[in-house]
């Protein structure tokens, strides 16, 4: 059923794709990591050009904490891969993870990810509900510990 739905719609919404306790753990970990990074940068313990602890310099959502390739997020990516493959019927090749902590007023505008992200996943691990728009169907979904899998190239054309 979900394979056909994904093939037809080019996306799936999967409620509680991961255990809510795991989502809460990873969410709190990432909040603490942001605080550590903020403290280390402000105290000048690490070089402001070093992004090993994350950054606030992502041009897509300026002044918002994000991190490329965080080990916990990479682990989460690998953990959900079998479920995503089963639900879509597609053999997936994990490429990278990218995590961001949105704050009030942040907007991630319509964009295309790089080609290696033909299949992408969006997950709200905690905090307030937030809208995500899939423009091709004029669809709005509120995500709370929801997994959204979409075929980027087909969805955003």
Count of the separate structural domains present in the chain: 1
Tens digits of residue pLDDT in 110-129: 777 777 777 888 888 888 77
User: Is the pTM of the predicted complex or chain greater than 0.85?
Assistant: no
3-state helix/strand/coil string of the chain: CHHHHHHHHCEEEEECCCCHHHHHHHHHHHHHHHHHHHHHHHCCCCCCCCCCCCECCCCCCCCCCEEECCHHHHHHHHHHHHHHHHHHCCCCCCCCCEEECCCCCCCCCCCCCCHHHCEEEEECCCCCCEEEEEHHHCEEEEECCEEEEEEHHHHCC
First CA to last CA across the chain, in angstroms? 25
Output the 3-class SS for 44-79.
CCCCCCCCCCCECCCCCCCCCCEEECCHHHHHHHHH
CATH code of residue 17: 2.60.120.620
pLDDT tens column, 3-59: 888 888 777 888 778 898 999 999 999 999 999 999 999 999 999 899 999 999 999
Range of the domain at 38: 2-155
User: Where residue 101 falls among pLDDT bands split at 50, 70, 90?
Assistant: very high
């Amino acid at each position: 059923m979900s394979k056909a739905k994904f093939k037809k719609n080019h996306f799936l919404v999967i409620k509680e794709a991961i255990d809510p306790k795991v989502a809460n753990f990873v969410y709190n970990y990432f909040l603490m990591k942001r605080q550590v990074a903020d403290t280390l940068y402000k105290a000048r313990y690490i070089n402001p050009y070093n992004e090993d602890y994350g950054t606030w310099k992502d041009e897509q959502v300026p002044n918002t904490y994000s991190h490329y390739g965080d080990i916990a997020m990479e682990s989460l990516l690998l953990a959900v891969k079998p479920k995503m493959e089963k639900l879509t019927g597609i053999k997936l090749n994990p490429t990278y993870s990218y995590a961001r902590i949105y704050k009030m007023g942040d907007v991630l505008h319509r964009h295309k990810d790089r080609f290696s992200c033909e299949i992408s996943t969006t997950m709200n691990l905690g905090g307030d509900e937030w809208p995500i728009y899939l423009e091709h169907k004029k669809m709005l979904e509120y995500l709370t510990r929801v997994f959204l899998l979409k075929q980027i190239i087909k969805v955003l054309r």
